[in-house]
Structure 1
């Protein structure tokens, strides 16, 4: 079976493409989770990577969980504790891995992001959407609950009321409504989606990589920690930053009125 996830690197930017378009890029019933974990570990190990773009091949971003796999889980052939184990060692590894990945991840949502597919987009740091994108937190329609972090992520992205509306109704919203609700940063024509994502990635990659990585860590920790704890962490991160060559280069370039050259 070919890899579900294509890994392409252009300079400091890695593009990950979910590549099972005939099945609308599902996240279960295939090698998706293993491929994601391998790619994330590869990015962790490669200090040249400064930004990541995640998108889907074909007309969908990701259709979420595979229905045939859900049938296996519900037909009585395996027990509840086994299903629990499969979640914990399977798709639930994704939100933790993406949360802890220091390199910023841009979701370029090219089409439908449904169920776990919507949650996957929510795991990313930035979301931009094609005009053809649509989103649904659709678990309730199948008589199940968000099993991969959506109930934690969505309220923090769009507020409790809107997250509840999406989760309790399972209804689909379009790209513009997603933008109006703050789920995505912007909506662009379909043929400009990857170009826009790459432009954004290039702007991120142009900055000192240590500053971007530590800023992402602060933003992520701020989602669940106290202000005094975050300030203590920020003091430590600032102390580290002041000692870097890229910080010294930025200050020198500002004083000398020239463009800085950051080497990471």
Structure 2
């Protein structure tokens, strides 16, 4: 099988495209899961990368799990209840742990339907842009199952518990305009301009020092489950590190000298 993830790099930006349009980029195999895990591990090691953009090939962003495999109890849906539990824990549940905890900012360019695990995948990203043809559904209940890959934790933190409950309990689909109104996405673009808009945003983010982006993202993540006093302690520790980087000194010097900074990720 061809690789699921098509990866390109431009400067400090990595663009990742799920590239099985024939299955609407469904997450169907251990190979696809491993590709996500390996990508996140590689990006975590590479300090020169500052932003990642994730999108899909063809008409869909990601159709979630393969319903035919569910019907036939094949692939990642095979086995006893005990085996299935471990398949989830050792399989697809590794993606939210790896992607959500990735140190660099991640932008989802949702080019079409993001359904079930596909919606949850978009929610693992920090910022979501959508094309006018994008659709969103937390559709697990319609198949008699529950969000198995973190959606029950991710979605309420983005749109609130009431709207997340509405989506999870009905399985209903919302369009890009509704997603924008609810705060699920930050911007709606035409299908033709989506990638350009996502890359333009990535460039604005990547113009900042990599160490500051990583520390800032970690603070935002930790703030979701820490007390204010604990977060302030962590902020002080991170800030002391940031003040002693060469890029901080360069940023301050460029500001004072009214010139564009040249960061070196040190």
Tell me the TM-score normalized by structure 2. 0.96
**Runs of 4 or more consecutive aligned structure 1 residues displaced over 4 Å after TM superposition:** none
Distance in 1, matches of 2:78 and 2:133, equals 39
Answer yes or no: is the 8 Å Cα contact 1:73–1:83 preserved in 2.
Answer: no
Distance in 1, matches of 2:250 and 2:162, equals 45
Bigger drift between 123-132 and 228-237 goes to: 228-237
Distance in 2, matches of 1:77 and 1:215, equals 41
Distance in 2, matches of 1:4 and 1:214, equals 30
Answer yes or no: is the 8 Å Cα contact 1:25–1:61 preserved in 2.
Answer: yes
Report 1:167-186 matches (<5 A). 167-186=168-187
1:72 Cα shift?
4.3
Answer yes or no: is the 8 Å Cα contact 2:6–2:17 preserved in 1.
Answer: yes
Is structure 2 residue 231 aligned with structure 1 residue 230?
yes
Q: What's the CA shift string for 1:214-243, capped at 9, x where partnerless?
A: 001111111222212111111100000000
* 1:3 counterpart residue number: 3
* 2:88 counterpart residue number: 87
* 2:17 counterpart residue number: 17
Tell me the TM-score normalized by structure 1. 0.97
Q: What's the CA shift string for 1:46-71, capped at 9, x where partnerless?
A: 22111000000000000001112223
1:41 Cα shift?
1.4
Q: What's the CA shift string for 1:176-218, capped at 9, x where partnerless?
A: 1000000000000110000001001101110011001100111
* 2:111 counterpart residue number: 110
* 2:33 counterpart residue number: 33
Distance in 2, matches of 1:220 and 1:73, equals 36
Distance in 2, matches of 1:54 and 1:39, equals 12
Answer yes or no: is the 8 Å Cα contact 2:56–2:62 preserved in 1.
Answer: yes
1:30 Cα shift?
5.6
Distance in 2, matches of 1:10 and 1:77, equals 40
Where structure 2 has 5 or more consecutive residues not aligned to the other structure, the ranges are: none
**Secondary structure in 1 matching 2:199:** helix
Answer yes or no: is the 8 Å Cα contact 1:29–1:69 preserved in 2.
Answer: no
Distance in 2, matches of 1:243 and 1:29, equals 44
Bigger drift between 65-74 and 232-241 goes to: 65-74
